Amino acid sequence: MENAIYIGLSRQSALRRELSLVANNIANSSTTAFKREIALYSPYETDTKMDEKLDFVIDHGTIVIHQPGTLQPTQNTFDVAIEGPGFFTVDNGREQMYTRNGNFKLDPDNQLVTGNGELVMDTGDNPIFIPQDGRKIEISPDGTISAGPEVLGVLKVVEFDDLPRMQKRGGSTFETTEAPRPAERSKML
């Protein structure tokens, strides 16, 4: 009898966690660059004195689905989308992290930042400064940001081979222990 109660409890705990994941996925379905999560389970067979088998539910955690979403054009000069498997490199003041959310803006110091205030890095691992002198700002498909003929910086876009090692850190950012490599299959739109 105890086994049946524990087995039922293991399944109920897994269902509760899965419901939380589904609710979070729905709540963030319109969030720019949000990556949904799914639960990963496996059964653990038990021996019972009855004829039917009963299985415990083993909860292995969650998996982030890195499937690209749909792209929507905006009128913001600093909105950039990545076509391909790349990630923008951003710095929160303590460490570099990675995001696919290209909804950038300028901070009070005219540096390019994410919606959460992380600095957007260039290929030299420096913040990108955008002068406010009236010149038209353009971002090319290779990530080069220019004001007229002057190059202001190149967005640091990187790729990873092992996406399951990437851990969500909130605000559409990820961190990983895998060393990034320069993007070869990604372009900016």
Q: Quick: pLDDT tens for 57-92.
A: 888 888 888 888 778 888 888 999 999 999 999 999
User: Which of 28-32, 49-53, 138-142 bottoms out in mean pLDDT, i.e. has the lowest?
Assistant: 49-53
Whole-number pLDDT of residue 68 = 82
Task: Please state the domain extents for the chain.
Answer: 2-64, 82-188
Pair type for strands 112-113 and 150-154 = unpaired
Whole-number pLDDT of residue 50 = 65
Q: What is the mean pLDDT of the chain?
A: 88
Task: Please provide residue 187's backbone torsions phi and psi, each rounded to the nearest 5 degrees.
Answer: -140, 155
Q: What is the C-alpha separation between 105 and 118, in angstroms, rounded? A: 10
What is this structure's pTM? 0.82
Whole-number pLDDT of residue 80 = 94
Whole-number pLDDT of residue 63 = 84
Q: Is the pLDDT of residue 1 over 50?
A: no
Whole-number pLDDT of residue 174 = 94
What's the pLDDT tens digit per position in 111-168?
999 999 999 999 999 999 999 888 899 999 999 999 989 999 999 999 999 988 899 8
Query: Residues 45, 55: contact at Cβ < 8 Å?
Result: yes
Quote the percentage of the chain above a pLDDT of 70.
95
